[in-house]
């Protein structure tokens, strides 16, 4: 077994140099390197592996780099000088440097250099060597990578080495990885009781490697007890995978739902509270997304800050656009919902074309800042993408803010008064025209905020809004007009329903089915899930 | 009296359409160099406009007279178009790129081995003609059956019609549906044995569209002048009151909505051979809303207003997209806003037009 | 007693008829018992507001009846129930012996012979007076029937004579929207009569009328009764007195008192409810 020998030698050497983490700063001469490489280049079978072993065991800093060079084909044989050199392709020629990078060897044509011959077993051997070197790296990340590379061939590492590493390791993550490596090693132990312990230890590990190992043991192990233990763990794993699969679907559903709620909640205000059908709502979302883009253009150094700043900016910009729309068009059309629908549709066309003409007909790039990209690992089968998690949280935050605003502020009180009985509210001294403008502006501003959030998930282009308008209306109508809580619940329900159907129906068919369901639903309950009831509504 | 005026407008309308047909046909026969010659491109364009006018009449019938603002009529138009497209695809026979006599090209491309069941029968023109009316009619009937019975009204109805056409668009984009997916149906060769690319056939289709428009107009006019038409207006203005007089409102709505869908299907079927393609884009919600704006601009509640709107807006669109392509959406958007704000009765509401039936908004 | 006895009890109750045994919708109206409308144990609740509370109300054939009560007493809701606009939570509503109103929609109820005039005059404003009357006239109500319907000499004459009755001969070809408030009231009454109903529900006919018009309305309503049952809801006590008909007082969704106008005025319950404000007229 090449591997085991390889690592053993390295370990021996490292131990010899007393501290593995402080490699001797002695660069043995280039001549010695040349011999090794000549052996490697000319030799066969064990000669080559021995040459590699020698190389790996050399107390040089760049052994790892050299091994990687062989693997990646950056080290080549130069015919005229009959040496192995670093070669970088530059046009039709190669720029060469000596093995220890000390001398520039000039350039030569591509015919003069030759790749080193590698076969799969040699490649695997080199990888093992690199991994072995990594085990003693001073960098925790490199150690972790080295351990992970070994996880499927735990036999390559000696028990004693592992124990040694375990006792020396300080970093918790690396220690954890070492322990699972140990468990995996114990799986191939000769003692069935150790194997059973190992199997049981893997019970909590849902990673695909662990599950594969358990499956293998459940099938192949010669000992019945071990097989039984493995089978029970395997069943547990399958059950867990199923549960977490469902959890993941629900998460995706909630994520889609949060997008729907964000897109719809502004509409819920203008449609639900004011009874205004705003077909330009999608375009207001689009404008919000463009605000995020514009801020990033203005502050290219700090994308994250630009994104945060663009939230209030988008709110103000789209809110103002909304107020202008209300003052110039919608004001004249109160009580004529179908006309409002047509006029605002006209506005949506104008807004789209404005963006096409003055920005670009193409999509614009909006970058994801660092803190938005990344994954939250819960376990081996379940992880949450951070951007979706943030948007879910953001959606709930916006929702809560709106509920509080409408429920507890003077403005909210006036909005509700106007929506319930306009004439009475005016008689009580509420300036209903001003409230209308502000309410519509609020709905528009929230659409803008939704646009900023959406810019992190989808392409930002002039057609962004159109994709959401039908969905938004559906969410509002399904939830019951004039009911923010209804919008939240309906958005989340539709999101989850969509994601639940996707696995067996496909994304588009799922969407069609949801639409068909909604059409049927509205016919059954025209006032939505949470209707406003009473005599006043009847008329 | 009013009835007299209404007859007058009908007569005027029919003579205008006949004059258009005769003039264009005559001018088309002139030699190509002649300064009054109307080119074949223009003939096809006008033919297309006429099919749009039929669609506009269909929308006006339900919106202007019954108060149902359908944002999904493009779906019926497209379904009629697809039915015709399927017939035209079958007519290609083995002249397709793959030369497969049994399957249209796109099915060969998708490695399908046999024709799906719903393509059966489209070899026959009579069957196709039936489907052109039946498929949109059936969809409208089923949709309306549920919607009107549960009294879905006004904006809600508009939104679910929009959802309907949106869902259909998504469905037709799928290759698995067997309607050519994204690309739709195209590369048609001939219709009833006549070569679609020949000038005479183009002229024939133009005339057929004009005749169909006259026929549809007369049909709608006869309905609107009957007591049924008055019931429709009664429903538009005071639905509950009509119910308390003993009229089954949902049945009247269902009947006229279904009829309107069939008319839209007919328009779509005449449209497809003239433009040579039908694809899922025809289902897009934008198309349906555009039809509504033709009617709004022309003047809803008058049949000829709808026709004027359809022809006028589409002519403007052709001109704009040629001269100022950027400006077209601005112009259309402004039209939407200005007409609803300043001209709620449309062009036909201007003083010098004869009043036909009863106008006034249905909303 | 024993559990088995309790268990069987529902099966042997003689006072209950199973739902499926009740004939649901029978075309022919049966008024042989002399009662046109039966409302029994009706209750309606709007989101916690008890609009009608265990109401029992009967109208005899050919009777003229006034229905009064303060705002929110349930007068309009009662009419909504009879005409099918609102469904009661409990109770039964029968038209004659054989027509169950709760199983029918508005149009069926209207066709069965119940006509209604609304509180706000509601006519078809974009149609002419003639068209308004034509649409309300008895006759076919089917889609195809209305499409094929042609005006015969007699029907035109009938409409014209009705226009005369309601003083709108001059305005026959005018659109109904251009009429004055009082004229609209008259047109609506005319439409109601054209329907030829067995039972008329008239909601505040006198609102917006001059004294002369009111007198004429009283005369008309009185002449209608006898052949048809007429229920009039009215706030104007002078008008009610002029009708010289039995009065039913509704209060908080149930019947408070019934009797002649004089009886009602001396009824202490009614005086308490109205706080004496209207009892002196």
The pLDDT, as a whole number, for residue C27 is 57
The pLDDT, as a whole number, for residue A20 is 39
Q: Do B237 and C126 touch (CB under 8 A)?
A: yes
A533 vs C contacts (CB less than 8 Å): 46-47
pLDDT tens-place string over residues B20-29: 888 888 888 7
The complex's ipTM? 0.81
CB C222 within 8 Å of CB C64: yes
Q: Can you tell me the distance from the alpha carbon of A528 to that of B191, in angstroms, rounded to the nearest whole number?
A: 48
Q: Can you tell me the distance from the alpha carbon of A64 to that of A352, in angstroms, rounded to the nearest whole number?
A: 56
Residue B135 scores a pLDDT above 90: yes
The structure tokens listed for A9 are 């030698």
For B241, which residue in chain C has the nearest alpha carbon? C122
pLDDT tens-place string over residues B177-224: 888 888 888 888 878 877 777 778 888 889 899 999 999 999 999 998
For every residue of chain B, which 3-state class applies, written as one string?
Answer: CHHHHHHHHHHHHHHHHHHHHHHHHHHHHCCCCCCCCCCHHHHHHHHHHHHHHHHHHHHHHHHCCCCCCCCCHHHHHHHHHHHHHHHHHHHHHHHCCCCCCCCCHHHHHCCCCCCCHHHCCCCCHHHHHHHHHHHHHHHHHHHHHHHHHCCCCHHHHHHHHHHHHHHHHHHHHCHHHCCCHHHCEECCCEECCEECCCHHHHHHHHHHHHHHHHHHHHHHHHHHHCHHHHHHHHHHHCHHHHHHCCCCHHHHHHHHHHHHHHHHHHHHHHHHHHHCEECHHHHCHHHHHHHHHHHHHHCCCCHHHHHHHHHHHHHHHHHHHHHCCCHHHHHHHHHHHHHHHHCCCCHHHCCCCCCCCCCCCCC
Work out the percent of chain A whose per-residue pLDDT is above 70.
92
- In the structure, what pLDDT confidence band is assigned to residue A16 with cuts at 50, 70 and 90? very low
The pLDDT, as a whole number, for residue A100 is 76
- In the structure, what pLDDT confidence band is assigned to residue C18 with cuts at 50, 70 and 90? low
Is residue B362 a part of any domain in this protein?
A: no
Work out the percent of chain C whose per-residue pLDDT is above 90.
0
Q: Do B292 and A337 touch (CB under 8 A)?
A: no
Query: What totals of helices (H) and strands (E) does chain A contain, helices first?
Result: 22, 7
Residue A4 scores a pLDDT above 60: no
Residue A242 scores a pLDDT above 80: yes
* B125 shares contact with chain A (CB less than 8 Å): no
pLDDT tens-place string over residues A307-351: 889 999 999 999 999 999 999 988 888 778 778 888 888 899 899
Q: Strand, helix or coil at A423?
A: helix
| Widest Cα–Cα separation across chain C | 79
C122 vs B contacts (CB less than 8 Å): 238, 240-241
Total number of domains constituting chain B:
1
The structure tokens listed for A149 are 């590379």
pLDDT tens-place string over residues C81-123: 888 888 888 888 888 877 888 888 888 888 888 888 887 778 8
What mean pLDDT is predicted for residues B290-295? 88
Q: Which is more confidently placed, A353 or A112?
A: A353
Is residue B38 a part of any domain in this protein?
A: yes
Residue A111 scores a pLDDT above 70: yes
B150 vs A contacts (CB less than 8 Å): 523-524, 526
Please name every residue paired with A107 in a beta bridge, in sequence order, or none if there are none: A95
The structure tokens listed for B288 are 């349906």
- Domain of residue B117, residue span: 2-357
Q: Strand, helix or coil at C251?
A: strand
The pLDDT, as a whole number, for residue B6 is 64
CB A462 within 8 Å of CB A278: no
Mean pLDDT in chain C?
A: 79
CB-CB neighbours of A30 under 10 Å: 14
Q: Which is more confidently placed, A427 or A408?
A: A408
Residue A388 scores a pLDDT above 50: yes
Task: List chains touching B (3+ CB pairs under 8 A).
Answer: A, C
Domain ranges, ordered by start, for chain A: 135-222, 243-362+385-524
Q: Can you tell me the distance from the alpha carbon of A270 to that of A322, in angstroms, rounded to the nearest whole number?
A: 10
Q: Can you tell me the distance from the alpha carbon of B255 to that of B231, in angstroms, rounded to the nearest whole number?
A: 12
| Interface residue ranges in chain B relative to chain C, Cβ cutoff 8 Å | 1-2, 223, 226-228, 230-231, 233-234, 236-238, 240-249, 251-252, 255, 358-360
- In the structure, what pLDDT confidence band is assigned to residue C22 with cuts at 50, 70 and 90? low
Most confident of A26-40, A217-231, C217-231: C217-231
What mean pLDDT is predicted for residues A126-154? 75
For A280, which residue in chain B has the nearest alpha carbon? B333
What mean pLDDT is predicted for residues A195-214? 78
Report DSSP state, residue C69.
Answer: -
C47 vs A contacts (CB less than 8 Å): 533-534
The pLDDT, as a whole number, for residue B257 is 95
Is residue B330 a part of any domain in this protein?
A: yes
pLDDT tens-place string over residues C32-47: 677 888 888 888 887 7
The structure tokens listed for A484 are 């923010």
Q: Which residue has the tokens 């994250």?
A: A304
The pLDDT, as a whole number, for residue B353 is 52
The pLDDT, as a whole number, for residue A427 is 80
For every residue of A17-38, which 3-state class applies, written as one string?
Answer: CCCCCCCCCCCCCHHHHHHHHH
The pLDDT, as a whole number, for residue A320 is 95
A466 vs B contacts (CB less than 8 Å): 286
Q: Which is more confidently placed, A330 or B155?
A: A330
Most confident of A196-210, A516-530, B324-338, B349-363: B324-338
For B252, which residue in chain C has the nearest alpha carbon? C143
Of the candidates A329, A338, A522, the beta carbon closest to that of B337 is on A329
A347 vs B contacts (CB less than 8 Å): 333, 336-337
CA-based nearest distance B155→chain C, Å:
22
Least confident stretch, A12-16, A280-284, B282-286: A12-16
B252 vs C contacts (CB less than 8 Å): 143, 146
Residue C280 scores a pLDDT above 60: no
- In the structure, what pLDDT confidence band is assigned to residue B77 with cuts at 50, 70 and 90? very high
pLDDT tens-place string over residues C147-194: 888 888 888 888 888 888 888 888 888 888 888 887 888 888 888 888
What is the pTM for the complete model shown? 0.77
The structure tokens listed for A41 are 């280049």
Is residue B363 a part of any domain in this protein?
A: no
Residue C3 scores a pLDDT above 50: no
What mean pLDDT is predicted for residues C255-266? 82
The pLDDT, as a whole number, for residue C275 is 55
CA-based nearest distance A281→chain B, Å:
14
- In the structure, what pLDDT confidence band is assigned to residue A400 with cuts at 50, 70 and 90? very high
The contacts of residue C95 (CB under 8 Å, 6+ apart) are C29, C36, C37, C101, C109, C112, C113, C114, C198, C199
CB B212 within 8 Å of CB B17: no
Residue A15 scores a pLDDT above 70: no
Work out the percent of chain B whose per-residue pLDDT is above 90.
26
Q: Do B332 and A508 touch (CB under 8 A)?
A: no
- In the structure, what pLDDT confidence band is assigned to residue A17 with cuts at 50, 70 and 90? very low
Residue C281 scores a pLDDT above 50: no
Q: Which of B163, B239, B292 to mutate to test the interface with A (most CBs of A within 10 A)?
A: B163
CB C42 within 8 Å of CB C60: no
CB-CB neighbours of C164 under 10 Å: 12
The pLDDT, as a whole number, for residue B58 is 94
* Domain at A243-362+385-524, CATH from 1.10.1160, 1.10.10, 1.10.3470, 3.90.660: 1.10.3470
- In the structure, what pLDDT confidence band is assigned to residue B62 with cuts at 50, 70 and 90? very high
What mean pLDDT is predicted for residues A412-425? 80
The pLDDT, as a whole number, for residue C17 is 55
The pLDDT, as a whole number, for residue A26 is 45
pLDDT tens-place string over residues B298-308: 888 888 888 98
Q: Which of B3, B5, B148, B245 to mutate to test the interface with C (most CBs of C within 10 A)?
A: B245
Residue B362 scores a pLDDT above 90: no
- In the structure, what pLDDT confidence band is assigned to residue A449 with cuts at 50, 70 and 90? very high
Is residue B281 a part of any domain in this protein?
A: yes
Q: Which of B208, B140, B132 is nearest to B168 (CA)?
A: B140
What mean pLDDT is predicted for residues C116-145? 84
Q: Do C110 and B252 touch (CB under 8 A)?
A: no
CB A9 within 8 Å of CB A57: yes
B171 vs A contacts (CB less than 8 Å): 508-509, 512
For A330, which residue in chain B has the nearest alpha carbon? B341
What mean pLDDT is predicted for residues A517-535? 69
The structure tokens listed for B260 are 């309107």
């Amino acid at each position: 077994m090449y591997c085991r020998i390889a690592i053993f030698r390295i370990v021996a050497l490292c131990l010899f140099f007393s501290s593995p983490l402080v490699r001797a700063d002695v660069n043995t001469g280039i001549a010695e390197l040349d011999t090794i490489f000549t052996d490697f280049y000319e030799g066969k079978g064990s000669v080559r592996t021995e040459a590699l072993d020698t190389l790996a065991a050399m107390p040089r800093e760049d052994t790892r780099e050299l091994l990687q060079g062989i693997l990646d084909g950056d080290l080549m044989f130069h015919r005229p000088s009959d040496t192995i050199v670093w070669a970088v392709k530059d046009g039709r020629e190669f720029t060469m440097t000596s093995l220890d990078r000390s001398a520039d060897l000039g350039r030569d044509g591509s015919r003069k250099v030759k790749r080193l011959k590698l076969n799969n077993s040699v490649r695997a051997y080199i990888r093992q060597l690199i991994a072995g070197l990594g085990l003693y790296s001073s960098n925790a990340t490199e150690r972790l990578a080295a351990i992970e590379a070994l996880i499927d061939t735990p036999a390559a590492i000696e028990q004693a080495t592992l124990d040694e590493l375990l006792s020396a390791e300080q970093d918790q993550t690396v220690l954890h990885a070492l322990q699972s490596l140990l468990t995996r090693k114990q799986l191939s132990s000769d003692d069935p009781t150790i194997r059973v312990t190992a199997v049981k230890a893997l019970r909590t590990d849902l990673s695909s490697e662990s599950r594969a190992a358990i499956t293998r043991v459940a099938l192949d192990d010669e000992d019945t007890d071990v097989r039984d233990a493995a089978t029970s763990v395997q069943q547990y794993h399958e059950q867990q995978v199923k549960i977490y699969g469902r959890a993941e679907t629900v998460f995706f559903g909630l994520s889609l739902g949060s997008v729907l709620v964000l897109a719809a909640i502004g509409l819920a205000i203008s449609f639900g509270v004011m009874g205004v059908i705003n077909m330009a709502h999608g375009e207001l979302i689009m404008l919000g997304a463009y605000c995020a883009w514009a801020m990033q253009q203005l502050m290219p150094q700090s994308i994250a800050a630009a994104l945060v700043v663009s939230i209030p900016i988008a709110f103000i910009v789209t809110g103002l656009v909304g107020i202008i729309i209300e003052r110039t068009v919608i004001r004249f059309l109160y009580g004529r919902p179908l006309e409002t629908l047509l006029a605002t549709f006209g506005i949506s066309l104008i807004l789209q074309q404005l963006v096409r003409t003055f920005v670009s007909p193409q999509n614009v790039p909006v970058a994801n800042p660092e803190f938005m990209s990344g994954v939250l690992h819960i376990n081996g089968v379940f992880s949450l993408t951070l951007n979706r998690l943030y948007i879910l949280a953001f959606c709930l935050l916006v929702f809560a803010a709106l509920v509080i605003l409408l429920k507890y502020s003077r403005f909210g009180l006036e909005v509700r008064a106007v929506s319930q009985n306009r004439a009475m509210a005016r008689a009580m001294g509420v300036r209903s025209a001003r409230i209308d403008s502000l309410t519509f502006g609020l709905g528009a501003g929230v659409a803008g905020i939704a646009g900023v959030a959406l810019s992190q998930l989808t392409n930002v282009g002039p057609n962004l809004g159109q994709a959401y308008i039908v969905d938004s209306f559906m969410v509002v109508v399904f939830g019951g007009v004039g009911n923010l809580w209804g919008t939240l619940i309906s958005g989340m329900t539709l999101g989850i329903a969509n994601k639940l159907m996707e696995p067996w129906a496909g994304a588009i068919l799922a969407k069609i089915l949801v639409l068909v369901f909604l059409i049927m639903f509205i016919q059954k309950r025209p006032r939505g899930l949470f209707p406003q009831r009473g005599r006043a509504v009847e008329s | 009296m009013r009835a007299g005026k209404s007859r007058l407008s009908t007569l005027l309308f029919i003579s205008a359409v006949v004059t258009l047909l005769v003039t264009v046909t005559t001018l088309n026969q002139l030699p190509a160099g002649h300064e009054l010659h109307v080119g074949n491109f223009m003939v096809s364009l006008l033919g297309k406009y006429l099919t749009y006018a039929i669609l506009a009449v269909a929308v006006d019938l339900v919106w202007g007279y019954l108060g149902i603002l359908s944002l999904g009529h493009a779906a019926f138009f497209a379904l009629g178009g697809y039915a015709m497209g399927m017939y035209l695809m079958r007519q290609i026979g083995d002249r397709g790129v793959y030369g497969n006599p049994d399957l249209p090209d796109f099915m060969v491309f998708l490695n399908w081995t046999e024709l799906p069941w719903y393509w059966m029968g489209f070899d026959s023109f009579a069957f196709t003609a039936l489907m052109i009316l039946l498929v949109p009619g059936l969809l409208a009937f089923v949709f309306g059956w549920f919607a009107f019975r549960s009294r879905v009204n006004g904006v809600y109805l508009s939104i679910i019609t929009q959802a309907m056409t949106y869902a259909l668009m998504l469905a037709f984009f799928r290759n698995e549906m067997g309607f050519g997916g994204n690309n739709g149906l195209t590369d048609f060769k001939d219709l009833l044995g006549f070569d679609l690319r020949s000038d005479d056939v183009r002229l024939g289709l133009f005339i057929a569209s004009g005749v169909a428009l006259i026929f549809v107009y007369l049909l709608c006019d006869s309905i609107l002048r009957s007591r049924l038409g008055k019931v429709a207006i009664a429903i538009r203005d005071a639905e509950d009151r009509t119910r308390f007089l003993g009229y089954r409102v949902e049945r009247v709505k269902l009947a006229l909505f279904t009829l309107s869908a069939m008319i839209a299907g007919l328009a779509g079927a005449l449209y497809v051979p003239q433009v040579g393609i039908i694809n899922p884009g025809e289902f897009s919600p934008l198309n349906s809303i555009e039809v509504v704006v033709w009617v709004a601009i022309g003047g809803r509640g008058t049949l000829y207003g709808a026709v004027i709107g359809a022809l006028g807006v589409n002519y403007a669109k052709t001109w704009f997209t040629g001269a100022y392509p950027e400006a077209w959406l601005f112009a259309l958007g402004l039209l939407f806003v200005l007409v609803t704000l300043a001209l709620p009765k449309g062009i036909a509401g201007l003083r010098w037009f004869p009043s036909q039936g009863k106008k006034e908004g249905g909303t | 007693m024993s559990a088995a006895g309790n268990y069987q009890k529902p099966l042997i109750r003689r006072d209950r008829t199973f739902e499926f045994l009740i004939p649901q919708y029978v075309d022919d109206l049966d008024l042989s018992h002399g009662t046109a409308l039966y409302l029994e144990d009706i209750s309606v609740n709007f989101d916690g507001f008890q609009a009608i509370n265990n109401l029992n109300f009967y109208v005899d054939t050919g009777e003229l009846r006034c229905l009064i009560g303060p705002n929110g007493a349930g007068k309009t809701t009662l009419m909504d129930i009879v005409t099918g606009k609102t469904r009661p939570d409990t109770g039964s509503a029968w038209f004659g012996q054989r027509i169950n109103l709760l199983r029918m929609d508005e149009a069926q109820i209207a066709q069965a012979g119940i006509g209604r005039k609304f509180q706000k005059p509601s006519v078809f404003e974009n149609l002419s007076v003639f068209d308004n009357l034509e649409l309300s006239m008895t006759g076919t109500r089917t889609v195809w029937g209305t499409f094929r319907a042609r005006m015969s000499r007699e029907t035109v004459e009938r409409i014209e004579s009705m226009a005369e009755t309601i003083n709108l001969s001059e305005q026959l070809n005018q659109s109904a929207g251009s009429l004055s408030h009082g004229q609209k009231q008259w047109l609506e009454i005319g439409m109601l009569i054209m329907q030829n109903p067995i039972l008329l529900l008239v909601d505040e006919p006198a609102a917006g009328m001059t004294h002369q018009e009111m007198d004429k309305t009283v005369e008309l309503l009185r002449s209608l009764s006898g052949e048809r049952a007429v229920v009039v809801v009215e706030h104007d006590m002078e008008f009610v007195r002029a009708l010289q008909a039995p009065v039913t007082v509704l209060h908080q969704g149930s019947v408070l008192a019934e009797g002649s106008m004089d009886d009602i005025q001396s009824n202490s319950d009614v005086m308490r409810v109205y706080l004496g404000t209207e009892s002196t007229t």
